[in-house]
């Protein structure tokens, strides 16, 4: 942030465009305006730019061939397309209870259509509990969907053992990597998944474009009649967004080198808030977490009020869910076994490569002030909802 008294720590919601990304998109506005499907010279140029972007991104993800990478309008559409593609080949769907609502909503639609739904529980520290999954996968063909990096807690999934389990039982595996790129390694060969969805605006790219990897031998199904993306989508390609996504991927060169600095900032943020607010705790502590994310419980305070209060100070964070007075508490924290009180009193801080030490210190000071000025919530007797594999 350029402002002296502001701190943007909501990067899991979206990230600002990098200058290189903005420049690439501005240039594309003038140079590549033609429809990539047009057969004349300008259309051919636009098509070449699009396919160059596909190759760049396929190499970054470790895909075997560029055609394994499809462009969509968002990660949500990429998830839906993965579910539509895999859904025809399976009889049941297994999803984690702490997944993003885009995954849960897609699973709900398939459950409503008659497919069996299996809910995979998570531990107190946010890790999926897979002990009972093998017996479920042995019953009938299954599509499994789990998140590589949880959007609220930053907890990282150990994918290779899960992928091996799915292969043994002939299950299809979708990985939601929306929060993973630029934060943990995303390598198709290592992950061993059939589908993988990516969101460029989470790593300083533009909104309005998503990425879906599909393993060459995995099922594909058209959502609509059309010619976009090998006949899987309709409409004209968002070349401007695709150019921006490619530029954002190129800007990731050497991203691992900055992780220790980001992790140090995150740790300082946690230490400062825990010292300033008695009884505060980090959700997901004890699991491997992405270096940029911290979800902190601030006792006896409403998360929505804290978010609003911090915004007035110039600190921009999130409750991580539709968490407001009278609203539903975080389903992620409820899935981890916490009661509504804790789930409704936790806020998410998410950093990026642009975050600074000054922002962290300013945020710690602001949290202490806002917490002290916010009215206490009355204590409630609430039990955590028990979630088990069906």
What are the residue numbers of the active site?
A: 323
Half-sphere exposure of 355 (CA within 13 A, CB side): 35
Rg of the chain over Cα atoms, rounded to whole angstroms, equals 21
End-to-end CA distance of the chain: 46
If we measure between CA atoms, which residue out of 252, 243, 248, 126 comes closest to residue 184? 252
- Whole-number Å distance between alpha carbons of 340 and 244: 40
Cβ(148)–Cβ(181) below 8 Å: no
Tally the residues of the chain. 390
- CA distances in angstroms from 330 to 10, 107, 146, 352, listed in the order given: 16, 18, 18, 23
- Whole-number Å distance between alpha carbons of 277 and 328: 24
Cβ(103)–Cβ(95) below 8 Å: yes
* Residue 128 bridge partners (DSSP): 122
Cβ(29)–Cβ(240) below 8 Å: yes
């Amino acid at each position: 942030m350029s402002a002296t008294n502001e701190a943007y720590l909501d990067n899991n919601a979206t990230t600002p465009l990098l200058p290189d990304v903005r420049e690439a998109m501005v240039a594309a506005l003038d140079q590549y305006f033609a429809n990539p499907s047009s057969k004349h010279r300008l259309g051919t140029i636009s098509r070449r730019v699009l396919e160059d972007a596909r190759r760049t991104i396929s190499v970054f993800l470790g895909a075997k061939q560029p055609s394994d990478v499809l462009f969509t309008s968002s990660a949500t559409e990429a998830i839906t397309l993965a579910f539509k593609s895999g859904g025809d080949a399976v009889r049941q769907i297994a999803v984690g209870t702490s997944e993003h609502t885009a995954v849960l909503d897609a699973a709900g639609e398939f459950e409503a259509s008659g497919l069996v739904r299996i809910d995979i529980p998570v531990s107190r520290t946010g890790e999926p509990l897979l002990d009972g999954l093998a017996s479920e996968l042995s019953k009938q063909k299954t599509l499994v969907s789990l998140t590589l990096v949880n959007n609220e807690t930053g907890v990282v999934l150990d994918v290779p053992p899960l992928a091996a389990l799915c292969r043994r039982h002939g299950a299809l595996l979708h990985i939601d990597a929306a929060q993973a790129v630029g934060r943990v390694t995303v390598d198709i060969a290592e992950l061993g998944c059939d589908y993988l969805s990516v969101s460029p605006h989470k790593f300083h790219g533009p909104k309005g474009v998503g990425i879906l990897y599909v393993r060459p031998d995995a099922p594909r199904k058209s959502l609509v009649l059309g010619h976009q993306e090998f006949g899987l989508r309709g409409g004209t390609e968002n070349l401007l967004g695709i150019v921006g996504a490619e530029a954002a991927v190129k800007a990731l060169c050497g991203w691992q080198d900055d992780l220790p600095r980001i992790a140090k900032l995150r740790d300082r943020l946690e230490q400062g808030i825990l010292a300033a607010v008695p009884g505060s705790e980090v959700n997901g502590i004890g699991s491997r977490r992405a270096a940029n994310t911290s979800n902190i419980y601030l006792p006896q305070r409403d998360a929505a009020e804290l978010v609003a209060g911090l915004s007035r100070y110039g600190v921009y964070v999130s409750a991580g869910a539709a968490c407001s007075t009278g609203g539903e508490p975080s389903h992620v924290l409820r899935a981890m076994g916490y009661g509504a009180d804790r789930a409704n009193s936790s806020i998410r801080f998410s950093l990026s490569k642009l975050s600074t030490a000054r922002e962290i210190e300013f945020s710690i000071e602001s949290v202490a002030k806002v917490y002290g000025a916010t009215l206490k919530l009355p204590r409630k007797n609430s039990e955590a909802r028990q979630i088990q594999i069906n």
